[in-house]
Structure 1
């Protein structure tokens, strides 16, 4: 089992969710339970460098199998351990190809410990789950694609060796529609991810502390829909909302996203250069990026003004006064005027800043990349970029 060695949030959450899909050893290192469904699940937890050390009772009734007190240890590491108080497998069936299909999976009171920290979560629940076989997981190229319909994790805590580093109230994800084995619609959210800034050791977190943030709470949300027949991909929302700081949101519409493109991208996920080549004929139809301030801009301006030894209004006036010179590189007088006006409004009275790209016809990514190398100042014109503030 690959235990998370880093106390970072992403590593910890990945470790929790990956309990349901790990590199499995084909041989059972635990005593068979008498239930094919329970054995298949435990076999996926029993990995090459980890062992299902023990479990409590295994009860089956009416299509539900409940396993209590699972303990998974990391070979050669006395501190590496995962415990799951209760595991509930509903409507399970081991298929002819060795895959385990579940109507639902619920893990309650999961604890992961390691020598540099650990994590815990109150509950992880997944519906319409299809887990790969041990043979598939042991292959160099395991199956690609979602194996679930909905996923929710609640009350997550991330620890380092000094104590609690972060907690997350809720993580949810859903696959709302499918085209064969490919998802065509879905959404996700992370709610109440609170980080103790003082516990993090980096230049970025020192900057946050200097700005007056002892903790930072972030919500994430995203949703999208792919129409394989029309070859369009619409990301209707991708938002990061940092409380008492700022929120950043993105929406995007792409064309030329065919079944072949998606299939090839999945196949070349470990070859980024080849994957980029597949995007040459994908087009941008429109895009929007919006920044909404919630005190972060004012904090930064106050801090920089203090460093310069001037009052904040004077510092802002100096910044906005230099905009015409800085914007000359755009070589587009109309856009220069828009940017100067919007940025001046935003810095003077921080509210929102919105950038839109609305070309009259879809623009291929190959054209954008070529323009970026030869004449980057032309990109705003190609994409018909506009900018507004406080609207």
Structure 2
């Protein structure tokens, strides 16, 4: 199960590179735990290895730990990893605390430096377990002190104090998760390579942006109901972009099938035809059902800056650009042949441009919509999708 962005998944999972017994005398158990760990991580597309295990009192140190991610040719050296408070639980294992040193990953031409990585309450279910979460390595908390992403000698992105909390499902209640990053910073002038795009970034005054991140949600393994109730990215002096969604069918079996499909695709040689796997992946997606989703933007001066930029380019005033935009929207919406939605969108855009506070697009169908129906509609009658999904747009509404 993935409950946070792709980078977060890889960083958090890389913390669990070590599970070994409390005593060197327990060699048989050590091998069993290590084999179980490798099997679980392999299912997540991660190949781990180590060179030596040492014991100092209640602490185990895995020396020379390394990690190789699927689709990446390079193996990354993690270094010495420590663990504490190992116990056997229902044939599996629980690791009270796993701590990593400062280390680096190389991926897709980027260098990712990580420090302060730690997991608590990591569970390794036994092989053959009937628990629906057996293929998922759950933890209670995850922390990353700092993350830095560089390309050559340019730092593109940094993040501080990322933390995630997970409450396992119990007595019919769903799994609950939440997380936040106290600060991130992105150098857009270094990250953006297109010359024209760089000019826009500079004109808007966003050479470097700073912000925060928050997320929260629930997941019910029994029926695969996944609800992302918060996914907010806030950028200082720009605004906050928020996403939510509610879908069903994201079951442990679905997750396992997706992992197997990704593993097969990763094993294909470079340049191989993955069309068959791609079609199979689309087939898996048909098991999902769409319930609702929202995209919301709360303005903090970005809208005004964009209007001023476009006005300078055209030798006009910002209010003239706003008026032109209001006039164009009805013509663009007319292509959908949906008078009610056209009126709704036009009114919302007009209200937002007159007083930029917030604008939200919501999709709330009268009944759940299978992804198969959405895919078919997108190919045969895309103009009908807004009706199928129950799309509405509102402006300057207070967030619930």
| Distance of 2:88 and 2:220 partners within structure 1 | 32
The structural deviation recorded for 1:167 is 2.3
Aligned residue for 1:282? 288
Q: 2:209 aligns with which of 211, 216, 219?
A: 216
Following superposition of structure 1 onto structure 2, how do residues 36-185 of structure 1 map, counting pairs within 5 Å? 59-60=56-57, 64-65=58-59, 67=61, 87-92=81-86, 101-107=94-100, 110-112=102-104, 118=111, 120-130=113-123, 144-162=135-153, 164-178=155-169, 184-185=175-176
Following superposition of structure 1 onto structure 2, how do residues 365-376 of structure 1 map, counting pairs within 5 Å? 365-376=371-382
SS in 1 for 2:168: strand
SS in 2 for 1:278: helix
SS in 2 for 1:322: helix
| Distance of 1:230 and 1:83 partners within structure 2 | 40
Normalised by the size of structure 2, how large is the TM-score? 0.71
The structural deviation recorded for 1:266 is 4.0
Following superposition of structure 1 onto structure 2, how do residues 277-316 of structure 1 map, counting pairs within 5 Å? 277-316=283-322
Normalised by the size of structure 1, how large is the TM-score? 0.72
Following superposition of structure 1 onto structure 2, how do residues 205-354 of structure 1 map, counting pairs within 5 Å? 207-229=200-222, 231-258=224-251, 260-270=253-263, 271-354=277-360
The structural deviation recorded for 1:194 is 0.9
Alignment deviations for residues 7-37 of structure 1 (CA, whole Å, 9 cap, x no partner) = xx98799468526439xxxxxxxxx999969
Q: 1:361 aligns with which of 357, 361, 367?
A: 367
The structural deviation recorded for 1:337 is 0.8
| Distance of 1:72 and 1:299 partners within structure 2 | 48
Unaligned runs of 5+ in 1: 1-8, 23-31, 75-79, 134-142
The structural deviation recorded for 1:248 is 1.7
* 267 and 19 in structure 1: CA distance in 2 versus 1, 3 angstrom threshold: same
| Distance of 2:284 and 2:9 partners within structure 1 | 31
Alignment deviations for residues 46-76 of structure 1 (CA, whole Å, 9 cap, x no partner) = x999975x99x8521xxx31649x66799xx
Unaligned runs of 5+ in 2: 39-45, 68-75, 127-133, 264-276
Matched, 1:189 2:180: yes
SS in 2 for 1:91: strand
CA contact 1:12–1:119 (8 Å) conserved in 2: no
Alignment deviations for residues 332-367 of structure 1 (CA, whole Å, 9 cap, x no partner) = 111101101111222232211111222222222222
CA contact 1:12–1:118 (8 Å) conserved in 2: no
Alignment deviations for residues 135-176 of structure 1 (CA, whole Å, 9 cap, x no partner) = xxxxxxxx9522433211113334454364432111222332
CA contact 1:12–1:158 (8 Å) conserved in 2: no
CA contact 1:284–1:365 (8 Å) conserved in 2: yes
* 105 and 35 in structure 1: CA distance in 2 versus 1, 3 angstrom threshold: farther
| Distance of 1:221 and 1:202 partners within structure 2 | 28
Alignment deviations for residues 197-250 of structure 1 (CA, whole Å, 9 cap, x no partner) = 333342255532331113212323322222344553222122222222222212
| Distance of 1:83 and 1:257 partners within structure 2 | 35
| Distance of 1:371 and 1:165 partners within structure 2 | 39
* 274 and 59 in structure 1: CA distance in 2 versus 1, 3 angstrom threshold: same
* 360 and 144 in structure 1: CA distance in 2 versus 1, 3 angstrom threshold: same
Query: Number of matched residues?
Result: 352
CA contact 1:119–1:159 (8 Å) conserved in 2: yes
Matched, 1:21 2:31: no
CA contact 2:169–2:220 (8 Å) conserved in 1: no
